[in-house]
Structure 1
Amino acid sequence: MEPHPASASRSPAQSPALAPIDVAVIGAGAAGMIAALAFAAEGFDVTLIGPPRRRDARATALMDGSVHALEALGVWPRLQGVGASRKVSPLRVMRLVDDTGRLWRAPEVSFEAGELGLPAFAWNVENEALLQALEAGIAAVPRITRVKASVATVTDEPDAARLVLDDGRTLAAALVAAADGRNSPCRAAAGIGLHTRDYPQVAITATLSHDRPHRDVSTEFHTPTGPFTLVPLPGNRASIVCVVAPKDAEVLSALDDAAFSREMERRAHSLLGKMRLDGPRGAFPLVAGTAERFAAGRIFLMGEAAHILPPIGAQGLNLGIRDAATLAELAGDARRAGRDPAGSDIADAYERRRRMDVGSRSLAVDLFNRSLLTGFLPIQGARGLGLWALGRSATLRRLAMREGVGPGRDVPRLMRAPAAELASDANNVA
Structure 2
Amino acid sequence: MQHFEIAVVGGGLAGSVAALALARSGRKLAFIAPASEKVDERTTALMDQSIRFLERLGVWESIAPSAAPLSIMQIIDATKRLLRAPTAQFRAMDVGLYAFGYNIPNNALTQTLDAAVAAEPNITKIEQSVETLDYSAERAAITLTGGSTITADFVVGADGRKSKTRDAAGIGTRTWSYPQSALVLNFSHTLPHGNVSTEFHTETGPFTQVPLPGLRSSLVWVVKPEEAQRLLELPSDELSRQVEDRMQSMLGKVTVEGRPQIWPLSSLMSERFGKGRLALIGEAAHAFPPIGAQGLNLSLRDVIALAELLAATGDRPIAADAGDRFNRRRRPDVMSRTFGVDVLNRSLLSDFLPVQMLRAAGLHLLGGAPPLRNLLMREGIEPGRGFRAVVDALRNEIRR
State the TM-score, normalized to the length of structure 2. Answer: 0.93
> Which of the pair has the greater relative contact order for Cα pairs under 8 Å at 6+ separation?
1
Counterpart of 1:40? Answer: 23
Alignment of 1:398-417 (within 5 A): 398-408=374-384
Post-superposition Cα deviations, 1:141-169, rounded to whole Å, max 9, x if no partner, equal 11112111111111112322111111222
Whichever residue aligns with residue 16 of structure 2, its letter is M
Whichever residue aligns with residue 153 of structure 1, its letter is T
User: Following the alignment from structure 2 to structure 1, what is the Cα–Cα distance between the partners of residues 143 and 67?
Assistant: 38
The answer to whether the 8 A contact 1:57-1:280 is kept is no
Task: Indicate which of 287, 304, 309 corresponds to 2:283.
Answer: 304
Counterpart of 2:392? Answer: none
Task: Indicate which of 330, 341, 345 corresponds to 2:318.
Answer: 341
Report how far residue 59 of structure 1 moved.
0.3
Counterpart of 1:152? Answer: 131
Counterpart of 2:365? Answer: 389
Report how far residue 353 of structure 1 moved.
1.1
The answer to whether the 8 A contact 2:171-2:272 is kept is yes
Whichever residue aligns with residue 336 of structure 1, its letter is T
Aligned residue for 2:41, secondary structure, equals coil
Structure 2 residue runs without a partner (length 5+) = 387-400
Whichever residue aligns with residue 404 of structure 1, its letter is G
Report how far residue 192 of structure 1 moved.
0.8
Report how far residue 340 of structure 1 moved.
4.0
User: Following the alignment from structure 1 to structure 2, what is the Cα–Cα distance between the partners of residues 142 and 279?
Assistant: 38
1:227 aligns with 2:206: yes
Counterpart of 1:176? Answer: 155
Post-superposition Cα deviations, 1:355-375, rounded to whole Å, max 9, x if no partner, equal 000011111111111110000
Q: CA RMSD in A?
A: 1.6
Question: Which moved further from structure 2: 108-117 or 259-268?
Answer: 259-268
Post-superposition Cα deviations, 1:264-319, rounded to whole Å, max 9, x if no partner, equal 11211111111112233111111111100112332211000000111001111111
The answer to whether the 8 A contact 2:138-2:320 is kept is no
Aligned residue for 1:70, secondary structure, equals helix
Aligned residue for 1:281, secondary structure, equals strand
State the TM-score, normalized to the length of structure 1. Answer: 0.87
1:75 aligns with 2:59: yes
User: Following the alignment from structure 1 to structure 2, what is the Cα–Cα distance between the partners of residues 302 and 342?
Assistant: 18
Aligned residue for 1:279, secondary structure, equals strand
Post-superposition Cα deviations, 1:72-91, rounded to whole Å, max 9, x if no partner, equal 111101112xxxxx111000
User: Following the alignment from structure 2 to structure 1, what is the Cα–Cα distance between the partners of residues 18 and 134?
Assistant: 21
Counterpart of 1:52? Answer: 35
Report how far residue 342 of structure 1 moved.
4.4
Counterpart of 1:6? Answer: none
Percent of residue pairs identical? 48
C-alpha change, 1:300 and 1:342, in structure 2 (3 Å) is farther
The answer to whether the 8 A contact 1:57-1:279 is kept is no
1:373 aligns with 2:354: no
User: Following the alignment from structure 2 to structure 1, what is the Cα–Cα distance between the partners of residues 305 and 177?
Assistant: 29
User: Following the alignment from structure 2 to structure 1, what is the Cα–Cα distance between the partners of residues 21 and 372?
Assistant: 35
Report how far residue 329 of structure 1 moved.
1.3
User: Following the alignment from structure 1 to structure 2, what is the Cα–Cα distance between the partners of residues 132 and 79?
Assistant: 9
The answer to whether the 8 A contact 1:32-1:179 is kept is yes
Question: Which moved further from structure 2: 393-402 or 152-161?
Answer: 152-161
Whichever residue aligns with residue 68 of structure 1, its letter is R
The answer to whether the 8 A contact 1:60-1:125 is kept is yes
Aligned residue for 1:278, secondary structure, equals strand
The answer to whether the 8 A contact 1:20-1:160 is kept is no
Aligned residue for 1:388, secondary structure, equals helix
The answer to whether the 8 A contact 2:5-2:152 is kept is yes
Alignment of 1:31-430 (within 5 A): 31-53=14-36, 54-80=38-64, 86-332=65-311, 335-336=312-313, 340-344=317-321, 346-408=322-384
Whichever residue aligns with residue 66 of structure 2, its letter is K
Report how far residue 50 of structure 1 moved.
1.0
Whichever residue aligns with residue 202 of structure 1, its letter is S
User: Following the alignment from structure 2 to structure 1, what is the Cα–Cα distance between the partners of residues 222 and 290?
Assistant: 9
User: Following the alignment from structure 2 to structure 1, what is the Cα–Cα distance between the partners of residues 50 and 152?
Assistant: 27
